[in-house]
Structure 1
Amino acid sequence: MTDAPDDGELLSSQLLLRPLRTANAFEETVQRLLQTIRLGLAAPGTRLPAERDLAARLDVSRDTLRDALAALAGAGYVVVRRGRTGGTFVAERPPRTPLGAEGRPVDDEAPSAGAVEEVLAMRAVLEVGVTRRVAQRDLAADDRDRLWQAFEACREAEPADYRVADSRLHLLLAELLGAPQVVALMADSRMRVNELLDRIPVLAPNIAHSNDQHERIVSAILRGKPDEAASAMAEHVAGSEALLRGFFG
């Protein structure tokens, strides 16, 4: 099961900070930390857990963690402060440029049509399936409240903050399923989708339409209607696909 969020949080900032499952600990440590920052689980200015605690959560050596944090600091995602009140903090303005496997910014080249189609296919399969399964569950009262609050956070978000709120809602669906590996898959999918979305403008009509769809999805889940919820999510995903194909051909 995933960590319970603190009071007042929709999603725990520790959600993705779990033991790694890969032979390359450095690369996945960078990935997990970057996902935590770019998906909005750790807000700008937030202090990350102490090195000892963070290394234990990820089940990596402190040397590996320090190398990963150094890569993120060099790329501008985190800031290291010394002294009694020091630590590692999320940068106030994290860059939007994605990082490659070695923790270095990747070339800002337009994605190929094949790469876009792969991202969209993964998202469609994952998000529609997760939505259906969550709607089949008997959610606890506090989880039902968190889900509605996540929808409201999207509806009330300013355009500059919308994609973070949107990512939190979709990650919450994965968390409510109670399967940590699905959370990791959803985080990877959202990162890839957001890297595409960050290349195009935030369109007000698209946000309004997206919020209408979010309301249908969440309402169907709360009423225990899996077919209706899955259909609404499929329509939501199809809308994003049309928008991205329009920009990337």
Structure 2
Amino acid sequence: MGGPRFEPVRTVRAYERIVEQIEEAVETGTLTPGHRLPSERDLMAQFSVSRSTVREALRVLQARGLVRSRPGDPNGAEVLPFTPAALHKSMTTLARVDQLSLGELVGFRMTLDAAANLLAARLRTEAQLAEMDAAISAMRAAAGTGYDAFSAADVAFHDAVARASGNKLIQICTDVVRSIVLNLIAEKIAAAPDQDGLMRQSIRHHEEVLAAVRAGDGPLAARLSRQTMYDYYVTYVPAPERAALRALLD
């Protein structure tokens, strides 16, 4: 017979309803960073649940980075300001359980960096250009001393570009995705031959990007960024995933 098909109804646990209501209060601004939730006893009364249910909800909220609850604190849990920590944890978990492949992460980073460069070329200030220039100078100084110092200077350059984009979400996602990608291939990068040659090539690429940003040429800055990311990461990405990265190139 025809007609609609229904899915089985999922039993929702009481603590999940508490989590949903508190999350909604944070999202709507009813609860803001620094505010305190009611005490455990008051939450028990308001939600008509047991102490164990309230504590389970608080554990979930704390794991998500929304509140901080201290054992023995007579006050209620404190609402925390937003940080990228929860996003980082979620994306890292997805990558580890193979729901996000390295190719997808690299492709997302290519897209993010290109957008940041495009915006930075049009919106950057002289002070921000000076920050990018200083980061490249630090890369040159670190090139002969070791990968860690060089990598830190490289990160400083990309952070300066992301800030110049004026888009906080680009800044947050860039930082999160970069960290996950580098953690996934850290051992391979450390074992790569001709580290000095790779560092010199990277400096040249960053100088080209900075020149485009300084000249206000957004499309060129974005194109250079995508190509540089592709060249750097493609050999680490499994062959079947490389076509999706090539599709991002002009």
Indicate the TM-score class for this superposition, using the shorter chain for normalisation. 0.5 to 0.7
The aligned residue for residue 229 of structure 2 is 237
CA distance in 2 between partners of 1:174 and 1:155 (Å)? 21
Q: In structure 2, the residue corresponding to 1:201 is in which secondary structure? A: helix
Cα distance change, pair 26–229 in 1 and its aligned pair in 2 (3 A): same
Out of 107, 121, 133, the residue aligned to residue 119 of structure 2 is 133
The aligned residue for residue 208 of structure 2 is 216
* 8 Å contact from structure 1 (residues 120, 193) kept in 2: yes
In the TM superposition, what are the counterparts of 1:38-57 in structure 2 within 5 Å?
none
Alpha-carbon deviation of 1:214?
0.5
The aligned residue for residue 147 of structure 1 is 132
The aligned residue for residue 188 of structure 1 is 176
Structure with the higher helix share, 1 or 2: 2
* 2:128 partner amino acid: D
In the TM superposition, what are the counterparts of 1:37-186 in structure 2 within 5 Å?
58-59=80-81, 115-137=101-123, 139-157=124-142, 158=145, 159-186=147-174
* 8 Å contact from structure 1 (residues 136, 225) kept in 2: yes
Cα distance change, pair 26–111 in 1 and its aligned pair in 2 (3 A): closer
Alpha-carbon deviation of 1:245?
2.5
* 8 Å contact from structure 1 (residues 150, 169) kept in 2: yes
Which deviations, in whole Å up to 9, do the C-alpha atoms of 1:200-224 show, x marking residues without a partner? 1342222221111011001110111
CA distance in 1 between partners of 2:64 and 2:172 (Å)? 15
CA distance in 2 between partners of 1:179 and 1:239 (Å)? 26
Cα distance change, pair 166–160 in 1 and its aligned pair in 2 (3 A): same
Alpha-carbon deviation of 1:195?
0.8
* 2:109 partner amino acid: R
* 8 Å contact from structure 1 (residues 131, 226) kept in 2: yes
Cα distance change, pair 25–248 in 1 and its aligned pair in 2 (3 A): farther
Which deviations, in whole Å up to 9, do the C-alpha atoms of 1:48-104 show, x marking residues without a partner? xxxxxxx89x528xxxxxxx9xxxxxxxxxxxxxxxxxxxxxxxxxxxxxx966xxx
Cα distance change, pair 207–197 in 1 and its aligned pair in 2 (3 A): farther
Q: In structure 1, the residue corresponding to 2:226 is in which secondary structure? A: helix
CA distance in 1 between partners of 2:225 and 2:164 (Å)? 16
Cα distance change, pair 148–24 in 1 and its aligned pair in 2 (3 A): farther
Cα distance change, pair 129–230 in 1 and its aligned pair in 2 (3 A): same
Which is higher, the Rg of structure 1 or of structure 2? Answer: 2
The aligned residue for residue 16 of structure 1 is none
TM-score (norm: length of structure 2): 0.54
CA distance in 2 between partners of 1:110 and 1:209 (Å)? 31
Alpha-carbon deviation of 1:153?
1.5
* 1:146 partner amino acid: E
Cα distance change, pair 189–100 in 1 and its aligned pair in 2 (3 A): closer
Identity %, equivalent residues:
16
Give the aligned length. 161
Q: Runs of 4 or more off by more than 3 Å in structure 1?
A: 23-29, 109-114, 246-249
TM-score (norm: length of structure 1): 0.54
Alpha-carbon deviation of 1:140?
2.3
Residue 197 (str. 1) matches residue 189 (str. 2)? no
CA distance in 2 between partners of 1:173 and 1:110 (Å)? 29
